[in-house]
Amino acid sequence: MNDPRIVRGNTYAAKVLTTSLKQEQQQQQKEKLRKVKQEENKRKILDNIRVSTPPPVEGRCHAFIQTENYLEELTDKPDEADAETQTQPFMDRPVSPLFVRSKTGHDATTQIEIGDLFDFDLEVEPILEVLCGKTIQNSMLELMQEEELEGIRREQEEFEAIRNIELAEVQRLEADARRKLQEKERRVQQEKKRLKERLELEEKIAARAFSNQYLSSLHTGVMEELFEDGYFYDPIKKEIEENVMKEIITGLKNRVQSYDLAQNMLEEILVQAGVKAKDMQKKSEECRKIKREQERREMELLALKKKEEEEAAAAARKAAEEAEAAAENQEVEE
């Protein structure tokens, strides 16, 4: 809820008007002007409309009469009369003198030299400092407010740009989802149509096979043709054709559907097996990498251990040689 009469933020700064707020204010002004014009038009229409008496009937005329409570004599010209008067002349009274109180006490004077009571240059300095400081402070505050408003406007423009980009992205995603849904529905319709055509084709094939089987023996004779047409029919054969053949065709359709289902399941199993094989291959490669890394670390540890042993052996040999040299020197000295 936004009320333009309520000021939010700093009252000294310029009011930031957004595009929607400007449009709303313009709309309100237009509504006010339209209402004022409507009221003026209604007032003019009511002023122009005057309630008048109906016209007189044929052979008569209206007479002007008074309808007030007090009757007045109607004349074309009112009565007029002149009257005069005379006053006695008097002299004007003089103006009363102002009251002046009698003087009491003794008069005394003194002399004040320049600079005795007030030094303007000295006294005005702090006042000027306060005024200048306050002016500079207000200027800095106004400048900071303008910079803040500029930053707010810049952030608002960035926000609107980001929002427009997000709206465009949302519209693109919605269009993509709508396109995928339409494509899915179209594929479903195509699959239904394909299955329907396949069923019709199977029925046509079964009918053709039945008709070929049914018409294969027409060359044998009229009786056989009449027999095949149904005039002379074998009840066992007819029962087989009506019941057993339908069951066979139905079972054949079920087998075809089962074959399609099994084929789809096999394709899915192959896809899943490929995915699992890729996963197992990745895992085996990772295990080999880990094993090679462990072997490399073990080799490094063995090398370090061997190097330490060699260094210890060298140090022991060196210590033994030094001990032998010291013993020899001692023997020589003795």
pLDDT in tens, 170-218: 999 998 998 999 999 999 999 999 999 988 888 888 888 877 776 665 5
Do 4 and 25 meet the contact criterion of CB atoms below 8 Å apart?
yes
Q: What is the pLDDT of residue 39?
A: 87
Lowest mean pLDDT among 148-162, 201-215, 219-233: 219-233
Lowest mean pLDDT among 25-34, 62-71, 171-180: 62-71
Q: What is the pLDDT of residue 111?
A: 78
**Residue 13 buriedness (CB in 10 A; 0-12 / 13-18 / 19+):** middle
**CB contact set of 56 (below 8 Å; sequence gap of 6+):** 62
Select from 22, 2, 14 the least CA-distant residue to 149.
Answer: 14
Q: What is the pLDDT of residue 136?
A: 92
pLDDT over threshold 70, residue 18: no
Q: What is the pLDDT of residue 247?
A: 78
Q: CA-CA-CA-CA torsion for 218, 219, 223, 224, nearest 10 degrees?
A: -50
Band of pLDDT at residue 11, cut at 50, 70 and 90: low
Q: What is the pLDDT of residue 144?
A: 92
Residue 213: what residue type?
Q
Q: What is the pLDDT of residue 248?
A: 79
Q: Distance between CA atoms of 40 and 2, rounded to whole angstroms?
A: 31
- Render the burial of 91-118: b for 16+ CB within 10 Å, e for the rest: eeeeeeeeeeeeeeeeeeeeeeeeeeee
**Which of the pair, 92 or 270, is modelled with greater confidence?**
270
Q: Which range has the top average pLDDT, 79-88, 190-199, 214-223, 280-289?
A: 190-199
Please compute the mean of the pLDDT values over residues 8-19 and round it to a whole number. 58
